Structure formats: C-alpha cells, structure tokens
Structure 1
C-alpha cells in the first residue's frame, strides 16, 4: 500500500472498552486535547447492553447521569449468618453498559478531532518515531497508542503470579411474587453450595419483582453455562420465585491476577484497562479502578516530558491482593471464610475504603486483622521467599 494512503493520528485507541471510553471522554472534558487527532478502533459497535458495572461512591461523579440505580443498604450472607450493611457515607451504584456507551459516544460524536471506526485490529508494530496499526481494512500510524485488547497468553503462560477468573452468568428477571427488597443490594451471598470453590450469589433489585440475579465464582476454571443457570434457578426458588420471566442475560469472565501487565508498556504504547492491569486483582472490580486510572492518565498525557513506560506505579495494595490470590489459588474453598470474616463484624465503609485503596496503614491493619491469620501468614512467607 502507498504510504500516502496511511492515515496518521496523534493518538489511537485499540479497543473501546470502559478504560478507553473513560479516558477519551475525560480528554474532551479537560479541553486540552482539541488540537490532537484521535482514532478509536473496535470491531464491536457498542450498540448492545453487554454488561452491568457497579461501584461504590461517596460523592457524585461525572457518570452520575447514567447511574440507573443506587442502594444505601447491602446484604452479606453465608450459610450461617446474614448481615445488613449500612453503606453510608457510600452508595452502591449501577450503570448499564448501553447507557454508558450512548452517553460517551454522544459526547465524542460532537468532536471534530475524534473518529470511531468499526474495524478489527490485526497488527501493532512500534517503530522509533511512531506506531503502525493494521486492521482488516486499513493501515494507520500514530504518535502514541493506547491498547485495551487483552492478551490472555501473557498471564496464562507464566507461573510466578496466580491467575483466577471472576466468572458469572446473570439473569434480569421479573417475578410474579414480590420477593426482592429494592432498597438493598445483595453484595455476596455465600449460602449457595461452595463445591470446593469460592461461589456466591449477587442480586441487584430494582423493584420488588425485578432484579439482576448473578451466580459468580472466583476460581481458576469456568463452568458449563447449564451449571450457572441451574444455580440461579435453585436460588430463585429459595427466594420464593415460582413464576418469573427472564428479560435479558449477561455473562462474563474477568481475570484476577497481579501479573504486571504494565511491564509491557513501552515508549509509545500504553496498555490500559484489563490489558494494562487496571482491574482490581482481588475482586475483579473494574469501574472504580478505571475511573481513577483514566483521570491519572489524562493528567499524565499533559506532561511535556511524557514517558509512557513510567505511567504505572505499584503500591502496597498490589501486595495485599497478591496474598489473597495466592490463598484462593491454592485453597479456593477458603473464599467464603475469608470474606465472611471481613464482613461479619467489620465496618462496611472502612472495607469499601480499603478496597478502593484509600486507607492509611493503620486502617489497613484494622481490615486485615479481621481475616483468618494462618492462611495469610503462610501466603506472606510463600510470597517473600518465592
């Protein structure tokens, strides 16, 4: 192909998932990138409601207008106890994928410097002065590339860092009987049979008869779809739902690992989202971490001495996550006991603050000391001497 036909951009985003869209949206809000040409490449048009994101927040954020439901209360349960959690000063928020996509793309479509193209990326090649990107239809170059296309092999072909999955199937149901409490989300219900794993139900009710009911595991291997759905049916029966309709289904698998994806960052290529290690390793939560990281990235891009490989900074929470994943990888059946020990008597607001990586050292120890001691001490020695 004639090089004159290759289109050049200042920035290209390969993949338009949560991290990419948050980052570009905030670049627009900042007003500091209007003179930069930006291309978004993804084979998916983002026209379907393919996922649901939840996060806890104290104040309103830039995403407030697309939050479809907020809860002030949550439930934690296992086979032995139930605890109602008052979340204040936090609220637990839900955003439907399609609402988020429409909100962001509506803003981006009005920017003359931003282009979205539905194309499958086939090749990325970094050169000294630019990055070359090939798709099935076109060729592009850019000064800097932000990649959110996840390569499973990076984490799965190494043995230094354990790799689990947060995998789930969810049903949006409408029941005949009024069985849900729309004021309370079920954060984790470990009363389901564990079968040697970390398994729980997650329920987001929007009315007394409507909810997203999700069967979730933190484990190494996925199940057959029938097994997830069988457990959802059993759980709905236990709640008293004899008759119900399923309006939508969702399923997903999110990698849970402390593998240092950021070490793949180079002079001109920055991996973002799950591909860049932006997912919270110990929980699989993505929205809040991506919100923070995207804000940091937009500020980082305005540094005149830009060095992409220096963007990521490892902190002590990465180490805490590593200990938990080491335990769950070796003894997956301990998940219920660990999370139950945290939530049985722990302060919910402090736990959320800890999971958001906003606690100080003294607060860290208040949370950590609620956990079973022996598994964590063993994991500590394994990690130190590995």
Structure 2
C-alpha cells in the first residue's frame, strides 16, 4: 500500500487550486502529495468567470476581460461600469494545463487517473480505495460532493445554480466583444429565478448560458429551447454551435464543514466553498485555497479551519427567500443593480465590505422580504414565510 502525506480525493477546481498553491509556495517539498480523479482533465468541459482587479495571478490564462457589462430586467437595461474590477473568463482546459505544467515541476506531487470508491479514517490515518488499489495518508482533502447530507435536512434550504451553455459562431457580426451580458432577467421567469448570460469573444462568437437559481433541474430540451429563443431575439438567423457545456452548482448555507475531522477536510462544493447566494466558485476558491495552505503550515487539526462570518448569514437570508418564493429572484437582483454602485456590489459579493458598506448594498433590496426572513430565522427558527 502506497502512503502519502497528503491525498486529494477528486481533482476539481478546489483541489487543483490548492495543489497549485502548495507547489508555488515552495514550503511542501518534504511532503508526498497525491491527486486522485477519474477524469484525466484533458477536455474543455467548463468555463469559469469572475470579477477581479487587473494583474491577477491567473491573468496569463484569462481568455477574455471586460470592463463593462449589461444588466437587464423587463423594466430597464443598464450598462455596469465595473471599475476598478474586470470581468474575466478562463476556459477549463486552459486552467487544467496551467496547473499540470506547474505540478510537473515538482516531483513530490503525483496524479493518478483513478476513481475514488471509498474513504475510511482509522487509527489517525486515512485510507482511500479505488477499483484497483488502496492508498493511505496522514491528511485527506476531499472535494467529492455528496448532496445527500444537505438534501436530507430541513434547517438550511438547498438550491442549485444550473445551466446549459452554447458557444456559437454566427455568420453575421452581431456581438459587441467588449460588452458582455452579466444577467438578463428580461426572459420569461416561469415561476423561477432565470436569466441569460452572454459572453462575446468576437463580433461573431459568444458563449450563451441559460441559467436558473432554483431547487429543481429542467429537462435538457427546456434549456436549449430557451437558448434558441434568445438567439432569435438577438436577430441571429444562421449560426454554428461550437461547444456545449452543462453544470449544476449547489447554493446552500448548509454547514458542510461540520463533517470535517482532524484528518479529513472537505473542500470545494463538498466543503461549502461555493458562494451560496450566487453559485460563483472561482474567486472564493482562490481565497480559500490560499488560506488553507497557510493554515496547513502551522495547524494539524482540520476541524479548526472553517470560520463562519456575517456573509454566511446574509446568504442564508437570501436563500430562505428564494427557497420560499423563487420567482422573486429577478426583482431582488434587479433592485441591487438598478441604481447601486456595481463596484460596491462586487466587493460585497467578494465578502470584503464593512458593515456600513453592507448596509448600502442591502438597503437597495426589497426591505420587507429581508426583514421577514430575518424575523423567521432569529425568532421563529422555522421555514421562512416571505411577503409578496
């Protein structure tokens, strides 16, 4: 049985980001590290977007940056000035290649293309079994998301950010490559929180994603029909689908970190690293990974890693509302962006604002909804009944 100091079960965004931080830190060369995943990470299976100031650590693989963006509602349209931020896009395969090139420079880091079947903690060691062999380690980082624990409880609502995206190439020059659509809520909501997302990379190429924040997934055809309708609405008559992508990201304030042990740390979606109120993952994962590597240099007990902050509670209130009245998502997000300062909103969503700045953002939202949610959470401790 091969033994390692650290094993990463799953090689998704959080694991690869953490391993990258380990590699570039230069402080773990005396450790043996293994990445285990059934996926070889050789396909362009997803796209990550995030807002960030210029000169970020992953700018070398950013395929497109935008300084402004459209926000649309059925009653208004607004161009958001993102300064001092930029909205950045990274393709999955570019990220995988970037990380694996760095890993290849560090012989103490290994990747094995095998599926994790089981994990067992025993006698201060962790054992990981695949179909063909068993490994042991001192510390395990688990990024394999199991929705059962979150879905089997009633204390915290569980929604999904779910979407299908088409990257298309048109005959006409239809897109402005410097103006993406951040959220377009003018599309039919059909009782949910639904929006279209458009990321143009040239005048005749763009990624269009039909996205929902809701509990239940849709039949595949319903997403694709919505994309086709939107393409027609843009006046596009002839186009080619270059790539397709599909995803679902948990949106919940469920306390995944309570399942951490001294030697097993849940990371990524499995550890509650996804920003619960938006489903955004990339920027949060950068922060969490850096904090994790710093923590691992001086702490030995993974139960001490997580710390809850005020933003966890803000997210919980929003999810309480969307769980009970999902159709109100459009009005909530639109109320923030209609007249709010985009830079301040993005700073708030990055969890970097002061209490005074929090209030400037929160007070743009429908107040009665959040007061009702707050009362139910604090005083009644029961499912929230929101006000229309």
- TM-score over 0.5 for the pair: yes
Give SS of 2:132's match.
coil
Task: Encode CA deviations 1:142-168: one digit per residue, 9 max, x unaligned.
Answer: 000000000010111111100000000
2:69 alignment partner in structure 1: 74
2:114 alignment partner in structure 1: 119
Alignment of 1:291-370 (within 5 A): 291-303=286-298, 305-370=299-364
Residue 377 of structure 1 pairs with residue 345 of structure 2: no
2:386 alignment partner in structure 1: none
2:208 alignment partner in structure 1: 213
Give SS of 1:184's match.
coil
Alignment of 1:238-253 (within 5 A): 238-253=233-248
TM-score (norm 1): 0.98
Give SS of 1:61's match.
coil
Q: What count of residue pairs does the alignment treat as equivalent?
A: 380
Give SS of 1:206's match.
strand
Alignment of 1:26-105 (within 5 A): 26-105=21-100
1:129 alignment partner in structure 2: 124
TM-score (norm 2): 0.97
CA distance in 1, matches of 2:125, 2:70: 51
Q: Which runs of 4+ in 1 moved over 2 A?
A: none
CA distance in 1, matches of 2:273, 2:175: 33
- Contact 1:177/1:240 (8 A) holds in 2: no
CA distance in 2, matches of 1:265, 1:222: 29
Task: Encode CA deviations 1:318-369: one digit per residue, 9 max, x unaligned.
Answer: 0000000000000000001000100000000000000000000000000000
CA distance in 1, matches of 2:303, 2:242: 45
1:258 Cα deviation after fit: 0.2
2:159 alignment partner in structure 1: 164
CA distance in 2, matches of 1:282, 1:231: 24
1:185 Cα deviation after fit: 1.3
Structure 1 stretches of 5 or more lacking a match?
A: 1-5
CA distance in 1, matches of 2:167, 2:99: 24
Give SS of 2:180's match.
strand
Give SS of 2:202's match.
coil
Task: Encode CA deviations 1:185-212: one digit per residue, 9 max, x unaligned.
Answer: 1100001000010000000000111100
Structure 2 stretches of 5 or more lacking a match?
A: 382-388
1:3 alignment partner in structure 2: none
Residue among 178, 188, 195 paired with 1:193: 188
CA distance in 2, matches of 1:128, 1:383: 40
CA distance in 2, matches of 1:149, 1:93: 26
Give SS of 2:177's match.
coil
Give SS of 2:223's match.
helix
